Structure formats: C-alpha cells, structure tokens
Amino acid sequence: MSTADLVVIGAGPTGLFATYYAGFRGLRVALVDSLPELGGQITAMYPEKAILDVAGFPSVKGRDLVSGLVTQAMTADPALHLDRTAETLVHEGDRVVVGLDDGTRIEAGAVLITAGIGKFSPRALPAAEGWLGRGLEFFVPSFEPYQGKDVVIVGGGDSAFDWAQHLEPIAASVTLVHRRDAFRAHQRTVATVRDSSVEIITKAQVTALRGEDTLQEVEITVDGQEPHTRPAQAVVAALGFIADLGALQTWGIDTDKRHVCVDTSMRTNLERVFAAGDITEYPGKVRLIAVGFGEAATAVNNAAVAIDPSAHVFPGHSSEG
C-alpha cells in the first residue's frame, strides 16, 4: 500500500499537466499509466506529428510538447507507476483505493482519470494479415525508415493525411487510398495534401499485399474497376482505433460506453473521482489538447477541496507564487 493525495490515471498531455497543477496546489501525486513511457498516445504513435492547436505554439512536434510537459510535471515530484494498469477502485471511508495489476494499492483522497480514449488497438486492414512488421505498420513514430520508399497509406482521417503530408518530402512516392470520396481529416490538411505530389485514390481499397520476405507491391481495387498493382515497400493502415475503457467500466462510473460522463466541475458520479481530457463527455464537449489542459486545472482545483474542505477551489495564479 502506498499513499497519495491524488491519483492521476493516464500520463498523456492532460494527465501530465494535471500532475504539475496538483503539485502547484501542494498535493502529493501518484501518476499511473499502462504504457512504459510518459506522454500517452503522442509518445506511442505521433511523436513526429506537428500539433497546431496548442495555445502559444504555432506548430510543435508531439515529442517536443511531451518533453515540456514532462519537465513541468516532474516539478510535482510524482510517484510514477508506469507499465501498470489500474484495475480496481473502491471507497474506504473518505479515501479512495486504486488497485494496480501488479498488486500495488494506492490510497488517496481523490482520483483523476485522464486516460484519453482508454486502452486502444488499431483497426485491422483485412488484406494485410500476417504483414505486420514486414512492410505493414499502424503508426509512424519515425519518418526516417520511409526514406526513398514507395508508401501506401490507407485511410481518410487526420492521421492518414498528417502522415501523407510529412512523408511526401522524403518518400519516393506516397499514395493515399480511401474507401470513400469524402474525408474526415481537417480541411486545411486535405487541401495541402491535394496540392502535393501525393496521389489520392478514392472509392478504393487495398485488396492484397505481395512480396517474398518483405513487401514489394500492393493490389488496389477501385469500385467498378479491375484490380491493379503498384510498387510499395511500406503500407500504413490508418484506419482508426477500437477503444476500450477496460476495467474502468466495472467501477460503477457513468459512461456513454466510450467516455466518462462528468459535470462542469469534472466530477463523475462517484464521490472523489474526477475525469478530464478526451475520456470525458458533457454537452458541448470539444476534444482538443488545449481543452484538456483547462479541464485538468478545473478537476484538480475541485479535487483539492474534496481532499481538504478548508481549501479554496481557486488558489490564485501560479505566476503569483
């Protein structure tokens, strides 16, 4: 058994900022994440991605944003529990006890869930079974391995277009294949990719991958046409994720199956349990990193009062310290 004032579950951007802010409020923090590194999905999947919607940064790489957030969070001297999954949550009087998958139990005055989309797994590309690591990838954590290669990206969302935009200057060729002629990606990114050398093939699917030990070509089938092949040494399947709230769904927290329901104070229906960031849902919710930062501060300030009723919700500005 270890103790803390606040347990933060999820070490992505929102969780890291919440950790810093809890330290500013004088709270002892235990930070838990199922991944072995800090940074959440950005570290795992998008370290090279240019992030454009964080205030004060016209453009910042994911890894650089995480680096700054980690430096900031470590000023709170949190107890880190990485590569650990929170499995149980029970109330014992005015305390909350979180049980981890390694047997650790953390007793705290409050819990803040900042777990993003929860546990996630990429959606499979049916034609690519058996090709993972032999030319097929679901994420692009580094652009260097794609230097001089013919790359096919499958998908029509933000990740597909972001990776197409970043790989276009370094790959021999980039082809983006999408099963519809409409895209879910940000319009500005779509326009940028359309104006580049990236070939966009719509109403189409990748129906086969071929090669000996490594990938050499793909088969693409456009609706109503005969399949055709083209050279490819790399395929990126950016088809989204299957999210799972996991054990959290057994804790009695109100959810809409995909997100945790909170009020304007970031409280869940469970006493002393708060949530912030992409995992939350409420009327008018907007899922941006910048919004998560604000929600983290709101949650921590209200959790501080739950932990110590003599505390104030708003302690003043950090710049006044």
Beta strands 2-9 and 29-33, pairing class? parallel
**What token pair was written down for 217?**
């070509």
**What token pair was written down for 121?**
């797994």
**What token pair was written down for 30?**
């235990």
Q: Does 41 show up as a binding residue in the annotation? A: yes
- 39-to-49, 64, 135, 163 alpha-carbon distances in Å: 13, 10, 26, 19
User: Which has the closest alpha carbon to 131: 237, 209, 216?
Assistant: 209
- 192-to-24, 155, 198, 300 alpha-carbon distances in Å: 41, 16, 10, 39
Q: Does 264 show up as a binding residue in the annotation? A: no
Q: Does 319 show up as a binding residue in the annotation? A: yes
Q: Which residues pair with 215 in a beta bridge?
A: 211
Residues 297 and 306: their CA atoms lie apart, in Å, by: 14
Q: Does 120 show up as a binding residue in the annotation? A: yes
Q: Does 278 show up as a binding residue in the annotation? A: yes
Q: Does 249 show up as a binding residue in the annotation? A: no
Residues 146 and 140: their CA atoms lie apart, in Å, by: 9
Q: Does 46 show up as a binding residue in the annotation? A: yes
User: Which parts are annotated binding residues for FAD?
Assistant: 14, 33, 41, 46, 86, 120, 278, 319
Q: Which residues are annotated as a binding site?
A: 14, 33, 41, 46, 86, 120, 278, 319
